[in-house]
Amino acid sequence: MTSTTRITAAAAALLAGSIGAAQADIKIGVLYPTSGTGAVYGVPAMQGHDMAVDEINGGGGVGGEMLVTFARDTKLKPAAAAAAAKELITKDNVDVLVGGLSSAVGLAISEVARQEGVIYIATIPKTIQMTTTKLHKHVFRTSSHTDFEGDAMAQIVAQLGKTKLCDIQLDYAYGHDLAAGIEKGLKRHAPNVEKVIDLRSKLGATDYNAQITQILGTGCDVVTSGLWGSHFVNFAQQAQPFGLFDQVVYISGGEIASHEIAGRMGKDYPDNVWSNTYELWYDHTVPAHEKFQADLAARAGTKETAMWPVLAYIGVKFIAAAAEKAGSTDADELAAALEGMSIDTPVGPRTIDPETHQADTGQFWGPMVRKEGVDYRVMNPVTYIPAKID
């Protein structure tokens, strides 16, 4: 088995040499969960990653050097992600790490990157800690973070004129940090809103009846939340018979406006939900999005595409741009190139702050409404809330 792999690898290397590719490839260690619960996001994220790599290599690579991907499954577990990151660095000699899904995993990979002095570009994790208390010179983030997200949610609370707020979050880094982000946002945008109750569910929780009935008992007129993915699907399915969504406006982070949730829930998607997403397959506000979405649709084999690919895609584009600018894969030189770097993406321009290493990644926000002719909900109107906190 091993010898077969070696021979195949050798053959591939010879072939690569014969078509004139440069010897010194840029090795990218990519970390997404591709099995278990996290596969929902990790598998589409890998599609976006591969698409960006293929685009760049198809265009001649970076200064003649090809991008080569070394993928590892994080299994959505910080320990597994840290072990995989170490292995990528020591065994595969990758030049840069990219990916991460879940705040806990992001922090774990970041710690390895710090110890090993390798660049890590976090494409999905949102915990604010990553670019504040746990910031180091080799970690960069191209996703949004919980302070931006919480601030946007507070703006919507204020815009809708709501006054009694219930908050329900998942009991781990992301949920805690988002609750804090909302809290800070409310002070700025809606200081008169009364926070009635803080509810916490564990990551992976499936039963929300106790929380739903508590929210109903408090008489809140708005619920803020970061229940993402199947957490939201379960919460919504369980809350609808109680009439929760007739009583409150549900403002949610966690990208439950993305089409993978809206499309899957179809007519079961509840009323009165405002949420966010990084990308909507049907929204071409940014002209470059149209081609991106068409390519992605061809790759995925579906007309409607998922949101996660664009995040991984942007991560690769930053790596390529940084390697181009630095003319090297040395970690310190890449870091210097990334600081202050701007690129254009299918969802708008992105600039990495030289101090915080955080990209100014805003999100699309809006109410999820019915649309004639289709059995799923769409965001309308779509508003881009930029990543800035006044």
Partner 1 sequence: MDMLLSNPTFVLIQVLNSISLGMNLFIIAAGLSLIFGVLRVINFAHGAFYMFGAYIMFTVAQEAELGFVTGVVAAAAGLAAIAVIVERGLFRWLYDKEHLMQLLLTFAIVLLMGDIAKILWGTDQLSVSYPDALRGATDLGVTFYPSYRLMLAVIGPLIFLGLWLLIERTRWGRLTRAATQDMEMLSALGINVPMIYIVIFVIGSALAGVGGALAAPINSPTPGMDATIIVECFVIVIIGGLGSLWGSFVGALIYGFVFNFGSVIVPNWQDVFAFLLLMAVLLVRPWGLYGKPEREGH
- Binding segment toward partner 1, per CB under 8 A, in 8-16, 240-248, 271-279, 351-359: 240-248
| Burial class of residue 312, CB neighbours in 10 A (0-12, 13-18, 19+) | buried
Distance of closest approach, residue 373 Cβ to partner 1, in angstroms? 20
Q: State in angstroms the smallest separation of the CB of 372 from partner 1.
A: 21
Whether cis (ω within 30° of 0) applies to the bond prior to 191 is no
Q: Given the complex with partner 1, which of 112 and 196 has the nearer CB atom?
A: 196
Q: Does 247 bind partner 1 (CB under 8 A)?
A: no
Q: What is the x/- site pattern for partner 1, positions 312-341, by CB under 8 A?
A: ------------------------------
Residue showing tokens 């660095």: 89
Tell me the chain's radius of gyration from C-alpha atoms.
Answer: 21
Which residues, 6+ apart, have CB-to-CB distance to 204 below 8 Å? 37, 231
**Which residue of 103, 110, 131, 201 would you call a contact of partner 1, by CB under 8 A?**
201
Sign of the alpha-carbon dihedral angle for 15, 69, 293, 39: positive
Q: Which stretch, 106-114, 205-213, 277-285, 334-342, contacts partner 1 (CB under 8 A)?
A: 205-213
Show the DSSP H helices in 266-330 as ranges: 288-300, 308-326
Nearer to partner 1, 201 or 358 (CB): 201
Between residues 83 and 216, which has the closer beta carbon with respect to partner 1?
A: 216
3-class SS letters over 167-231: EEEECCHHHHHHHHHHHHHHHHHCCCCEEEEEEEECCCCCCCHHHHHHHHHHCCCEEEECCCHHH
Using CB under 8 A as the binding criterion, the count of chain residues that bind partner 1 stands at: 42
264 binds partner 1 (CB under 8 A): yes
Token pair 């181009």 is found at 324
The interface with partner 1 within residues 39-78 (CB under 8 A) comprises 39-40, 42-43
| Closest distance of CB 75 from partner 1, Å | 10
| Near partner 1 by CB under 8 A: residue from 243, 327, 340, 354 | 243
Does 266 bind partner 1 (CB under 8 A)? Our answer is yes
CA distance 389 to 250: 22
| Interface mask toward partner 1 for 213-232; x: CB under 8 A | xx--xx----------xx--
Question: To the nearest whole angstrom, how small is the minimum distance from the Cβ of residue 293 to partner 1?
Answer: 19
How far, in Å, CA of 139 to CA of 331, rounded? 10
Per DSSP, the three-state class of 250 is strand
- Select the residue interacting with partner 1 from 238, 328, 351, 356 (CB under 8 A): 238
Tell whether residue 207 is a contact of partner 1 (CB under 8 A).
yes
Rounded distance between C-alpha atoms, residue 224 and residue 76, angstroms: 25
Scanning residues 159 to 198, which ones bind partner 1 (CB under 8 A)? Answer: 171, 197-198
Q: Confirm or reject binding of residue 297 to partner 1 (CB under 8 A).
A: no
**Contact 80/107 with Cβ under 8 angstroms?**
no
Angle between helices 288-300 and 308-326 (to 10 degrees): 120
Binding residues for partner 1 (CB under 8 A)? 35-40, 42-43, 171, 197-202, 204-207, 209-211, 213-214, 217-218, 229-230, 233-234, 237-238, 241-243, 260-261, 264-268
